[in-house]
Structure 1
Amino acid sequence: MHLPLPFPFPDVPGRAPLAASPRLPLPLPLAWPGLGPARGGPRGTAVIPAATMPALQILQSKQASRHEQRAKQMLSGISLNNEDLVKDKLLIDCGEDQDCVIDGIVALGKFDALHIGHRELAMYASKAGTPFLLSFVGIAEVLGWEYRPPIVAQCDRKRVLTSWAPYCKNVVPIEYQVEFSKVRYLTPRQFVERLSRDLKIQGVVAGENYRFGYRASGDAAELVKLCEEFGLSAFIVRSVMDTARSYNGVTTSVNSSDKGQVSSSRVRHALAMGDMEYVSELLGRKHRLVLTVKENHLQERKRIMLPKSCMLNMPPADGLYENCDLVNGGHLGLCRVIINSETIEIEMKDENSLLPNTIQENQQLGIEFG
């Protein structure tokens, strides 16, 4: 059976559109909470009517109750092998009880760019329950990678997630962070056990290329198997493909793991080329560069100049950018932006946009690139 996409991504005139991957054959009986019983499936499962099935291969766990599953785990002696790995709390920003995602559906990933592929994971999490993002942070520091500024400023992530609500049944996905150093040495089994035992979630959503566990030893198939063992649902989502990948020098592959899917690496590549139209397609929104105004900024009647050190996230390539928007909570006006090796210059279209004291020291400004 081939299933249609739940909705198409909008085409962009003059460019090959971004689209989810081709329609998927789904060889297994599909289950989804809240629908009628599936013919021939285990008791408690439900089948999605063909007209409303999403383009998603759902590999769902056995439908025994969570309490029964936990009892079976205790009787079978399933436990973590190394107690030193389970002393720390998993979620950085959740508190001692770690009860922030109880009974939720968590999407797993790094979520650096919050691009349309990440939005797809959140969308399917919202179909199964209360959606959360579980973001792994501190990977570069642990593995000794060279520092790279984030694609989305930390202070701007909540705004982006709020914009996803129309795709997530009018629910804003909430993001919680996991310090990579706390899970780096966990085996795939230990990691899933911690999700089940410590966070008490209902299920997970992950992309088809998701890897987890020590040295990325677990893949999507193992995630499904382990979730079944621990009484969790597992939803594996096919990648959103970038059909414009050969445009303007972005070749078929931007790194060794690139198979043509929308990725944070592609967003960085497009930003480095200064192709803001392409960046907007990958993100599903305009890229916002966030700056903190410092005392050494220069402000004139319609012009602001700041050092590059003010930037809180990745800028586009040096150059001139027309038809940008300057925001500071509200919309300040249209502007053109000049980025060079040391400074960023903002020139307003309207001479009255920057009245005296409009821009204050330590204030945050945002530039949205058209």
Structure 2
Amino acid sequence: MEVIKDLSKWKIDSSTIITIGNFDGVHLGHQTIIKKVLSLAKEFNLKSGVVTFSPHPIKFFNKDIKLIMTERKKIKIFESLGIDYFFNLTFNESIANMDPEIFIREFLVKSLKASFIVVGYDYRFGRKRKGDYELLKMLETKYGYTAFKIPPVKIDDIIVSSTNIRSLLSKGDVELANKMLGRPFTLEGVVVKGDGYGRLLGYPTANLSVKNELIPANGIYATKTIINNKKYLSVTNIGIRPTLVNKNEVRVETHIFDFDEDIYDNFIEVEFHSYIREEKKFEDVNSLIKQIQKDCEKAKEILCR
């Protein structure tokens, strides 16, 4: 897969099949869109492309939003799905204020050479978000492309959306979030030195300097940790460690079962599979140790099902 950040340096002679959106999380709804793109690409022997923007348009308009995944993870997933081109283009005033028809004509048709355009049911574009699927459909003949709209995907009667997944993760509901994502939610980053409390308690932890913007709710989770493409069962604490320190600094600490290697400065990923309990302050360290033992047993029970 080719990653393009500057359209002026990208040229193609043949037509393409394009989808456009934010694709934060690349959830089941997004994957349904991608399946349609790839199906068309195979049928008409054309190259497939995913167009997304940075910064996220919501961020551009100075609204707060925490993204589900890193750009690295997003690119990796699209590559695994079989997309030919991943466009991560700069979102700026020009794009934000572009007339929707000009966006279609100059950007999608002339620059990207789209002969097929596949969008989600709620995709909007152009000045004041006035462009939508209906406009794409209306201008098909004029600009020589075919537009497709993909309906929403639902799980437990809830629409699968990045917004809903963010809400679920912020509440610690990783199980339903994972169903919507079609894979376990992951945090990724580099292992850094911590305070050493875990080792003193008999449960050494990998302390993660997290690259993700969105971190799930504080609590204890059954997780799997990926180190050098190998998965290990683990239990992860997200929180402020109230029994040990008097700070409000949120940390992500993972105890990896049956593992005793030096992984400082290593890049790792932590998959979140199930919420075990909320973080709490214990009366003493011995009570904390007993609870950690129970958490480990519970995590193993969940992960070995």
Which bin holds the TM-score, normalised by the shorter protein? 0.7 to 0.9
More helix as a share of residues: 2
Report 1:1-370 matches (<5 A): 93-94=5-6, 96-99=8-11, 103-129=15-41, 130-138=47-55, 139-146=57-64, 148-163=65-80, 165=81, 171-172=82-83, 174-181=85-92, 182-194=94-106, 195-245=108-158, 261-296=159-194, 298=196, 300=199, 303-306=204-207, 310-322=210-222, 324-341=223-240, 342-350=250-258, 353-355=259-261, 357=262, 359-361=263-265, 363-370=266-273
Matching residue of 1:50: none
The answer on whether the counterparts of 1:92 and 1:179 sit within 8 Å (CA) in structure 2 is no
Query: Secondary structure of 1:111's match?
Result: coil
Whole-angstrom distance in 2 between the partners of 1:124 and 1:101: 23
Q: Per the alignment, do residues 100 and 338 of structure 1 end up closer, same or farther by CA in structure 2, a change over 3 Å counting?
A: farther
* CA deviation map 1:283-333 (0-9, x unaligned): 0111111122335575848622526x53424221110112x1111232241
Whole-angstrom distance in 2 between the partners of 1:292 and 1:264: 25
Question: What is the Cα deviation at residue 173 of structure 1?
Answer: 5.3
Whole-angstrom distance in 1 between the partners of 2:97 and 2:48: 27
The answer on whether the counterparts of 1:184 and 1:214 sit within 8 Å (CA) in structure 2 is yes
Whole-angstrom distance in 1 between the partners of 2:59 and 2:116: 29
Question: How many pairs are equivalent?
Answer: 251
Query: Secondary structure of 1:314's match?
Result: coil
Question: What is the Cα deviation at residue 94 of structure 1?
Answer: 4.2
Question: What is the Cα deviation at residue 102 of structure 1?
Answer: 5.1
* CA deviation map 1:206-255 (0-9, x unaligned): 1222211100112211111223311112111111123343xxxxxxxxxx
The answer on whether the counterparts of 2:6 and 2:89 sit within 8 Å (CA) in structure 1 is no
The answer on whether the counterparts of 2:4 and 2:10 sit within 8 Å (CA) in structure 1 is no
Query: Secondary structure of 2:264's match?
Result: coil
Whole-angstrom distance in 1 between the partners of 2:58 and 2:270: 27
One-letter amino acid matched to 1:325: K
Whole-angstrom distance in 1 between the partners of 2:84 and 2:30: 11
One-letter amino acid matched to 1:110: N
> Percent of pairs identical after alignment?
22
The answer on whether the counterparts of 1:161 and 1:174 sit within 8 Å (CA) in structure 2 is no
Whole-angstrom distance in 1 between the partners of 2:171 and 2:181: 15
The answer on whether the counterparts of 2:165 and 2:180 sit within 8 Å (CA) in structure 1 is yes
Question: What is the Cα deviation at residue 156 of structure 1?
Answer: 1.4
Matching residue of 1:9: none
One-letter amino acid matched to 1:143: F
One-letter amino acid matched to 2:89: V
Whole-angstrom distance in 2 between the partners of 1:297 and 1:365: 19
One-letter amino acid matched to 2:25: A
The answer on whether the counterparts of 2:191 and 2:206 sit within 8 Å (CA) in structure 1 is no
Question: What is the Cα deviation at residue 111 of structure 1?
Answer: 0.7
* CA deviation map 1:18-49 (0-9, x unaligned): xxxxxxxxxxxxxxxxxxxxxxxxxxxxxxxx
Q: Per the alignment, do residues 221 and 294 of structure 1 end up closer, same or farther by CA in structure 2, a change over 3 Å counting?
A: same
Whole-angstrom distance in 2 between the partners of 1:141 and 1:98: 26
The answer on whether the counterparts of 1:92 and 1:177 sit within 8 Å (CA) in structure 2 is yes
Q: Per the alignment, do residues 132 and 155 of structure 1 end up closer, same or farther by CA in structure 2, a change over 3 Å counting?
A: same
Whole-angstrom distance in 2 between the partners of 1:99 and 1:242: 40
Gaps of 5+ in 1: 1-90, 166-170, 246-260
Whole-angstrom distance in 2 between the partners of 1:101 and 1:243: 44
